[in-house]
A and B are shown apart, each in its own frame.
Chain A
């Protein structure tokens, strides 16, 4: 009896147990997954935003003129410079080294009085040719006085890096015409514009006139070479060409000498003026005005003055050519190279990618072969980019380029024209690299065009191509642009393959300029990504170049974002055109 009664009980208990298990199991209700997925997303966002913030903060601060502080130190010479970092630390024996015993003891006592915790500042002192260093650590216990000298000048020079020091006089032709800082500053401001003008004139001569003479000389050489190739080295026309070239060369050489003379005169004129600067350790240095890019008494500047300096430095950065093995000056050639290369790449990759996607999606009969091609294309995106670089070098430069040289530029040989890295080969290589990035979204966009639209078009008597051109492609355009955006983002930031196929450390001649034939697809070029690598890891003093690395990185990110924003805006506009209120 009791057994019969009890029979259903275990069953219901089992049910209840299962229910309670469900309630306690972490994964049976959705909560933990929400936290897991949300947390992963948050982590990603934090990392990306953190990186962007770091680059933005560090990069945008580089050009801000900071106060020049002078630290008088016990037992060591004074330092003058910008404080770039501060930290607290526990001084050890090394902190007191390099002083005589009494001073060291005194310093130790001072540090101990402060509880053996000291503050120290990293001071950017510059004046590299005098001190052999860019930075100096200054600890609080060694400082006897700290001030911001009124006439501390921050001078940016054309060569040798910045110079910090106090203005003590102005020198004209070896004669000190002012000994009082105010007067010296007035003279400096008076003479600087003329000096800068002469510097510009010199630059113009070097770039344009001497460049022209050099090209003419090269042309003569090539004319002779051409004649040799065509008629043989001893034929009459060759000899005539050689004589003609020799005569012309004479004229060009004298022209060259005249230009050199002009330059020297300009330099001599500029050499006459000099700023007398006393650096923190008391040495006096004469800085010729011709060397000065910009000088300002930073401690006297108000906010507007500093903003002015900031703007001027930023403008120089964006519009000038690099100086001092790329660590100073501007990055215009690199900006230009990056943008040109990216645009040419897009112009190459988008049509090719779209055509390939059209064939895959619209014309090819679906089957194993098409699937195989599709998988292969997708996998192409995963090939390391350096492989594309090697391929580009081997195929475009050494095969295609060398063949072009053989056919059209044989007189230049053995120095290559197209047979080496250049902006065209770099663009082609990156186009290849980004091809899958275009094909995949384009194919998806083509597949997403409703079949009802195609049928409607066919029913109107349209051919396949008319349907593709008038219905499918316009409708898929936003997707195609997505591909282009991805390609730009991928291509503009790529560095490794470029190092093999045309990006160089310094290329003052832009791929597009005023010299016929205006477009020079064979020229090597500068690239911001490569510039960053070069600046940060190849420059003689990478520590000093660090701020510029951040600034250049910020610029590269900015350019990529800008290119993308433009493409996204175009896409949004197209989307609006194709999207109705009701569908």
Chain B
């Protein structure tokens, strides 16, 4: 209730403050001068309950995509949470999803590895492709699909077992028994997650005894142990203190290149510091998507500018 009211308030404020735009709901035109910043009326789309065609920056066209989302909508029962999202996630890059709370960032992320299948009321339409393989085609083995995608959650969720067992969990469930393989993967993943030096002497202690930041890095190690094609991070730092947050950000920097990362963040600085591309979402719609610097410095839409400069959200 409260959120809905404040949104109407905001949209009124914004509507008053921006000048009317010539292209209402039109396709993106790359020739448009970036400093003009036409209003694309996301707010109108929301109030009229229709989809909104996102403003996509041309730089994206040059990228090779690991994940392609096409016209993807999602409903929780009758409530629509995603409105025909279409976007590609570039290979080997970090893509940040930003947007106010409840705009569907987590929902989009959880749709990629079909975690939403666990909720009975969810319906979807549209397609997603992981390296060309349809994610939502009938007959897709969800278990196999999830093994190709790593995911790290908002709150660290180590399993109630040793650090070692946590890291090699995905190998264990695949039935890998060879000790040498397991140890090798464990060390590589922990090194990859920058945790090796801290825990190498207590690999067989309970993972629950680690600090929050260490637990989150352990979760990252667990996610990269399976060599995923995409790594999904859902606000990985929101439960951590600034120092731990800094370490995770450094880690993301290091993982860049070897992994394709799709990361949700609440924190504008974090997005600008760590990501190559940034997508701005608002109330289930993708609003603007482009290279991080362009999006933060010269956003094409005034809504984006308002959000990244902290005028709302």
Contact = CB atoms under 8 A, between A and B. Distances in A.
B115 A581 contact: no
Contacts of A461: 143-147, 170, 173-174, 226
A127 to B, nearest CB: 66
B159 A452 contact: no
B246 interface: no
A578 B149 CA distance: 27
Interface in A442-474: 450, 452-453, 455-463, 466, 470-471, 474
A505 B173 CA distance: 53
A147 interface: no
A578 B207 CA distance: 9
A577 interface: yes
Interface string B187-229: 0000000000000000000111111100100010011001000
Contacts of A462: 143, 169-170, 173
A12 interface: no
A363 to B, nearest CB: 13
Contacts of B206: 577-580
Given A453-B157, A463-B143, A475-B160, A580 B113 contact: no
Interface string B153-166: 10101111100000
A459 B161 CA distance: 17
A254 interface: no
B118 A470 contact: no
Contacts of B223: 459-460
Determine which residue in B145, B146, B157 has the highest number of CB atoms from chain A within 10 A of its CB, and name it. Answer: B157
Given A453-B157, A457-B169, A460-B169, A580 B146 contact: no
B115 A471 contact: no
A470 B219 contact: no
B211 A455 contact: no
Contacts, number: 85
A129 B146 CA distance: 85
A580 B226 CA distance: 26
- Name the prevailing secondary structure of the A interface residues: helix
Interface residues of A, number: 24
B209 A459 contact: no
Nearest to B169: A460
Contacts of B174: 461
A580 B153 CA distance: 19
Contacts of B159: 453, 456-457, 470-471
A450 B209 CA distance: 17
B151 interface: yes
Given A452-B155, A459-B115, A583-B208, A578 B160 contact: yes
Given A455-B153, A461-B143, A580 B207 contact: yes
Determine which residue in A450, A461, A462 has the highest number of CB atoms from chain B within 10 A of its CB, and name it. Answer: A461
B172 interface: yes
A57 B150 CA distance: 64
Chain B, interface size: which category? 35 or more
A582 interface: yes
A454 to B, nearest CB: 8
B208 A580 contact: yes
- Name the prevailing secondary structure of the B interface residues: helix
A579 B157 contact: no
A475 B170 CA distance: 18
B170 A582 contact: no
A143 B275 CA distance: 105
Contacts of A458: 115, 118, 146
A572 B159 CA distance: 19
A459 B208 contact: no
A458 B115 CA distance: 8
A583 B208 CA distance: 6
Interface in A528-583: 577-583
Interface in A161-213: none
A577 B169 CA distance: 18
Determine which residue in B118, B145, B169, B226 has the highest number of CB atoms from chain A within 10 A of its CB, and name it. Answer: B169
A371 to B, nearest CB: 17
B174 to A, nearest CB: 8
A452 B173 contact: no
Interface string B5-30: 00000000000000000000000000
B125 to A, nearest CB: 23
Nearest to A450: B157
A391 B78 CA distance: 50
Contacts of B219: 456
B153 A456 contact: yes
Nearest to A576: B206
Contact of B153 (A452, A471, A474, A579): A452
Nearest to B120: A365
A461 B143 CA distance: 5
A140 B222 CA distance: 86
Contacts of A580: 206-210
A579 B208 contact: yes
Contact of A578 (B113, B145, B208, B211): B208
A456 B170 CA distance: 11
29 contacts: A455-B115, A455-B153, A455-B157, A456-B153, A456-B159, A457-B159, A459-B149, A459-B153, A460-B147, A460-B173, A461-B145, A461-B146, A461-B173, A461-B174, A462-B170, A462-B173, A463-B143, A463-B173, A466-B173, A470-B161, A471-B160, A475-B160, A577-B160, A578-B206, A578-B208, A579-B208, A580-B209, A582-B209, A582-B211
Cβ-closest 7 pairs across A and B: A580-B208, A461-B147, A459-B151, A452-B157, A580-B209, A461-B146, A456-B157
Given A459-B149, A462-B173, A470-B161, 18 more contacts: A453-B159, A455-B115, A457-B169, A458-B115, A459-B146, A459-B151, A460-B222, A460-B226, A461-B145, A461-B146, A462-B143, A462-B169, A462-B170, A463-B143, A470-B173, A474-B160, A475-B160, A580-B206
